A and B are shown apart, each in its own frame.
Chain A
Amino acid sequence: MLQSVINGILLGGLYAVIGIGMSMIFGIMRLTNLAHGDLMILVSYLAAVTISLFGLPPLLTLVLVIPLMFFVGFVIQSSLLNRVLGKGMEPPLLVTFGLSIILQNALLIVFTPDAKTLTNPLATKYFALGGNLTVPVIYLLDFLMGLAVIIALSQFFQRTYLGRAIRAASDDEGAAQLMGISTKRIYSYAMGIAMVTAAVAGVLVGMTFTFYPYTGTQYLIIAFGVVVIGGLGNMIGTLVAGMILGLAQLLGAYFFGAGFQLLFGYVVLLVVLAVRPQGIFAR
């Protein structure tokens, strides 16, 4: 059981990266991106293609997929989502739902429904802690990368003009426009940055787990869980939320069998949603 706790906490770092992009977008423009998980899985596939083309080690594919996904996010926001923002709740939600359908099925057509993984030597390595306990190297990497993304992102929001402008726009869109901030363009940048976090998450997920064209939904729900439990724009909350979900899943699997791993994450999330719809760490 202690092993499940270790793994669950480490996995939390990865879940935090999965959720942080969605949390950003939700916080800034009140947009729930239902395609977030699928965009992430798209990255897993792109990384797989890059590896087979250039023989790069999986982590190095980030050099390619990060700029690519920034561009993808920017284009999706400026060409699709900016047009439906502020038109009520349904249109943006349904557009991202449509995107999710398109991505899942495009992946299915191009890559077949077979399971894939980004093979890497780290996946089978362990640090022994004594007493049968181990730290899987890949989970440790997930955790450290997660921490790095969160720190980098909070520095970006604190220290750069763009970061401050994004926060200003999320506080008061009209007032931000009066400062000379073109909020629509800011939103496009924000989505680009959210997709950079999705790029990191996609590569890590691909290195840690197997993925299929439809696995995006599973990660969307994890991302949503991180948003709900962690609260908006709260970096520490996001990390803790990731850990809570990771622990819930792995302890669920420990007690009830591997088949119930996902179910436990969902149940914890539903309970939190019901008891504290505003999130545990909401201010």
Chain B
Amino acid sequence: MIILRIENLNVFYGDFQAIRNVSLEIPQGSVVSLIGANGAGKSTLLKAVSGLQKPAAGKITYSGADITGLSPDKIVAAGISMVPEGGRVFPRLTVLENLLVGSYTPKARKKRNTLLEKVYELFPRLAERSRQLANSLSGGERQMLAIGRALMSDPRLILFDEISLGLAPRVIKDIYQRIKEINRTGTTIVLVEQDVKRSLKASEKSYVLLEGKVVLAGRSKELSEEEVRKAYFGL
């Protein structure tokens, strides 16, 4: 079953077209990666899905419902959550407050205690620091908090934007381990990455973007690193 379907999507920033006729399908329960260089349009694609950027044309369907152009709060309520690039935790709120803000939608608010328990189980470090201000956390901890906060809305689909940017390799490995665990509970995952090797390893399906277009797609196992690199650089 396809949980998210994007058909012929076009997104502009002013006169600049960031996404050109992109179509893709995310199967329910899978991990899918979007690979591409800086400026290839990966982040814009995620923004269009999460409602932060309005597409000019095309259709986004989630669980069979058309969600094109809906506002971000409606999209979160529908069950799509995003971990933005750099985490963007709320620096002047405590760890616990950050997580509670994550469960802002009415549906999530009712389940907030169970959700909180799950997040603390996944990231025990956050439980230890729950009373600390978010801006006192280390880079890795902030990323954990951002993921935890996204989980607090009880999503069925999570979009991760450049999750490993600026983190130490050991931390990245740890975070990918957690993402795998999140996926195991049935949550669908979309990863946006620049690191080709890691993306292929972590996902079942991959799309390579270049200059706003999908230039390569396939099952991650069947794609060779060489082939993906070529598509990535447009060679």
Contacts and interface: CB of A to CB of B under 8 A. Distances in A.
A179 B88 contact: no
B100 A180 contact: no
A180 B90 contact: no
Interface string B73-85: 1001100011010
B90 A172 contact: yes
Interface string B148-192: 011001000000000000000000000000000000000000000
Interface stretch (B102-110, B115-123, B207-215): B102-110
A164 B97 contact: yes
Contacts of A233: 92
Nearest to B102: A179
Among A164, A165, A167, A174, chain B packs the most CB atoms within 10 A around the CB of A164
A47 B149 CA distance: 45
Contacts, number: 69
Contacts of B105: 180
Given A178-B50, A178-B82, A180-B153, A164 B77 contact: no
A177 B52 contact: yes
Contact of B101 (A174, A176, A182): A176
A213 B89 CA distance: 45
A165 B101 contact: yes
A178 B72 contact: yes
Contact of A171 (B93, B149, B150): B93
B218 interface: no
Interface residues of B, number: 29
Nearest to A233: B92
Given A164-B101, A172-B88, A174-B52, A179 B93 contact: no
A182 B51 CA distance: 11
A161 interface: yes
B91 interface: yes
18 contacts: A161-B104, A164-B97, A165-B101, A167-B92, A167-B97, A171-B91, A171-B92, A171-B93, A176-B90, A177-B71, A177-B72, A177-B73, A178-B50, A178-B72, A178-B84, A179-B101, A180-B108, A182-B72
Given A165-B104, A180-B105, 13 more contacts: A161-B100, A171-B90, A171-B91, A171-B92, A172-B90, A174-B52, A175-B84, A176-B90, A178-B84, A178-B150, A179-B101, A180-B72, A180-B73
